[in-house]
Amino acid sequence: MLTVFNNVIAIYQRELRGYFASPLAYAIAGLFWLLGGFFLTVILLSPQGLIAQVAIADQFGGAGASIDVPYEFLKIYLSLLGSLSMFVLPILSMGLYAEERKQGTLELLATSPITNWAVALGKLLGVVTFYIGIVLPLMFCEAIALSTSDPPIQPIGMILGHLGLILLAASVLSLGMFVSSLTESTVLAAIMTFVLVLLLWVVDAIAEGLGGAWGEILSHLSLLTHYTDFTEGVLDTSGLLLFISYIVLGLFLTAQSIDALRFQRS
């Protein structure tokens, strides 16, 4: 047990260090911050922004007063970060295994006393940590904006929303890791992951069109619906379970695909 833990830590550390040496990681973080910061300002402060809208509504009296600006802001901003992540996450996950395959380092891992599970878990933890790292500064900005709200907001809502964001990211990264383990091409991995994520993102729209029992089943798989619950500050166990299922599924499929790789190699 201890050695498994050590192995996960070893892979985790290497993965995380890899991001600090990778220009791509810096580029992604920079882009994420730029867009995140830009939208933060636009949502709050632009002439069509949230504050301006509420102010106008206030002037016309009555109805506007029931808008809870901080929660409304959090909801809009988190759903925006979610959509932004849909583009960023496939790029983060694309190299997880494809790069190892290309450089031949998978042969090192596969001949070391370390299980496929430990490798996959270490890698996933590493990339999720990196993602949290790029979300944190934006959270800081949000906190500054929200600290001016009166009455002060409940931190639990904010924490729950961001937990949802991280769970969403971990699910996508886990599935993306599996896709990455299928190919040596990082570009292909990114595209395939993006398509998969898009499908899971809009699966409830598909489900609606489909209708019936199948539609019912499909609608539960939607990332968007469950994520929206979180951004509204609702802790929904079914959503939590869904995200955890996606994460475990991704890990399981990755471990299996690496194992299966040995049989098809020629």
Partner 1 sequence: MIEAEYLNKTYGSTAAIQDVSFRVEPGEILGFLGPNGAGKTTTMRILTGYLPATSGSARIADYEVHTHSMEVRKRIGYLPETPPLYREMTVERFLHFVAQIKGVAAGDRSQRVESAMRRCNLLEKRSILIRKLSKGFRQRVGIAQAIVHDPPAIILDEPTVGLDPRQIIEVRNLIKSLSGEHTIILSTHILPEASMTCNRVAIINQGKIVATDTPDNLMSRLAGEAGYEVEIQGDLQLALQRLEAIDGIRTATVMEIEGLPQDRHRLQVVSDGNRDSGGEMASVLIGAGLGLYELRRTRVSLEDVFLNLTTQEKTEDSSMESTFAPTEPDSPQETSTSDPANGPEED
Binding region for partner 1 (CB under 8 A): 3, 6-7, 10-11, 13-14, 17-18, 21-22, 103-115, 262-263, 265-266
Task: Find, among 68, 92, 79, the residue nearest to 16 by Cα.
Answer: 92
**Min separation Cβ 34 and partner 1, Å:** 25
**Min separation Cβ 140 and partner 1, Å:** 29
**Min separation Cβ 258 and partner 1, Å:** 11
Decide whether 54 or 109 has the Cβ nearer to partner 1: 109
What the block records as the tokens of 266 is 């020629």
Decide: 78 and 161 in contact? Cβ < 8 Å.
yes
The answer for residues whose C-beta is within 8 angstroms of residue 156's C-beta and 6 or more apart is 233
Identify the burial level of 210 via C-beta atoms within 10 angstroms of its C-beta, where 0-12 means exposed, 13-18 middle and 19 or more buried: middle
Decide whether 62 or 104 has the Cβ nearer to partner 1: 104
**Which residue bears the tokens 């925006």?**
80
What the block records as the tokens of 170 is 């971990």
Decide whether 48 or 111 has the Cβ nearer to partner 1: 111
**Min separation Cβ 218 and partner 1, Å:** 38
**Min separation Cβ 130 and partner 1, Å:** 14
Rg (the chain; Cα; Å): 21
Report the distance separating Cα 242 and Cα 68, nearest Å: 29
Decide whether 122 or 176 has the Cβ nearer to partner 1: 122
**Min separation Cβ 201 and partner 1, Å:** 32
Decide whether 106 or 169 has the Cβ nearer to partner 1: 106
Decide whether 125 or 170 has the Cβ nearer to partner 1: 125
Task: Find, among 219, 187, 216, 188, the residue nearest to 201 by Cα.
Answer: 219
Letter string b/e over residues 145-168, b meaning 16 or more CB atoms within 10 A of that residue's CB: bbeeeeeebeeebbebbbebbbbb
